[in-house]
Amino acid sequence: MVPAMHRPAQINVDLGAIKENIKNEVKHLKDKQQLWAVVKANAYGHGAIPVANAALQAGATGFCVATLDEGLELREYGIPKPVLVLGIVPVQWTPLAAQKNISLTVGSLEWLKAADKILAETNQALKIHLGIDSGMGRIGFSEDDEFIAANKFLQDNPHFEVEGMFTHFSKADDADTSYFDYQVKRFKHMQDLLTIKPKYIHVANTATSIFNRKIDSDIVRFGIGIYGLNPSSTPNTDDLPSEVPLKPALSFTSALSFVKQIHKGYGVGYGATFVADKDQWIGTVPVGYADGWQRKMQGFKVKVGDEYCPIVGRVCMDQFMVLLPHKMSAGTPVELISADPTAPNNIKAVADQADTIHYEIACLLSDRLPRVYKD
């Protein structure tokens, strides 16, 4: 998708805030613990390469991504540190991963055997992390017999370097730790079955770290915290208190592209879901759901100039309308998302309006919106 450079709409990313968040987390790490920055999904919508470079400067020693292509992008732009793909990669791409020194997640003996044949043909060794499904129900080993067999298969196997073993927690961001404790118990059981010795055993994500969950981990996979956001982003509930200061890095700005006065009885937007009960001023903002600004944002207040104005009518694909308190000029600045966590239009407030979490809001902001960086 081509960024729309010739309209007044952009995502603003404060790399200084990202560095500050990482430095604060590095200070919070336990002795010999490492921070690997999670930059999947275009760094949660913030921009993978600028964020990765900022993370390196701030003390990250590795990176996590979701797909092999995301890892290849890091290598293409000269990121030299370890890169782990957290998802399952089709076995035919294992030689490419090995060539680019990218570590892959393994979740089954079947995958290992298939990859072994391919790597034998190319005479390569692949770095792998053993994924454990301790209760997420997503990917990874969960049965004892298969995991024991995988250990035997990997013993002295020249085509694999077992770099790590990890799991992912379903409820590390919940005040009730009972399911978290259950997953920890399941993971430790699988760890007891190990006969090979990975370099890293890692289970910690942002939530386990900033909420001080009691579990050992060689690596903290620092994800949402990089971007200054609290992982306990349940809609319309307060965040859990973080032990690490978090400074949001993203804001979303635009400007009024058109202003007009409508009269009593005039409708606004598809379906005319808003009808004027008197003469009123309407401003148009050149952003819509194709940019990731969802139709659910109808009724939300964005900042126009110095005033918060409600979105009226349905959000269109490329535009939405706001009810102005008085006549304003085209070109008046509009702030859709504020980086100030206390502002009425902060990203959690946006997520609450959409009945979702801020992870989704940030990731949905499309590539049509240019990213503008400051340090």
Per 3-state DSSP, what percentage of the chain is helix, strand, and coil (rounded to 5)?
30, 25, 45
Answer for the pair 148, 183: CB distance below 8 angstroms, yes or no: no
Sheet containing 301-304: give its strands across: 258-262, 280-285, 320-324, 307-312, 301-304, 333-337, 250-255, 9-14, 371-374
Given the residues 27, 30, 270, 327, the one annotated as active site: 270
- Kindly state the tokens that stand for 146: 């298969």
Distances (CA, A) of 189 to 243, 323, 362: 29, 58, 36
> How far is 330 from 7, CA to CA, in rounded Å?
13
Between the CA atoms of 199, 201, 205 and 211, what dihedral angle is there, to the nearest 10 degrees?
-120
**The one-letter amino acid at 220:** V
**74: which 2 tokens?**
């890091």
Alpha-carbon distances of 89 from 112, 116, 128, 356, rounded to whole Å: 11, 14, 11, 28
- Nearest C-alpha neighbor of 240 from the set 226, 229, 227: 229
Catalytic residue among 40, 127, 303, 348: 40
The verdict on whether 270 is a catalytic residue reads: yes
Q: Which residues of 337-375 are buried (b: 16+ CB within 10 A; e: fewer)?
A: bbbebebebbbbbbbbbbebbbbebbbbbbbbbebebee
- Is the distance from CB of 188 to CB of 170 less than 8 angstroms? no
Within a 10 A sphere around the Cβ of 215, how many other Cβ atoms?
Answer: 17
Per the annotation, the verdict on 308 as an active-site residue is no
Q: Which two tokens stand for residue 211?
A: 């909420």
User: Of the candidates 174, 286, 294, 178, which has an alpha carbon nearest to the alpha carbon of residue 239?
Assistant: 174
What residues are annotated to the active site? Answer: 40, 270
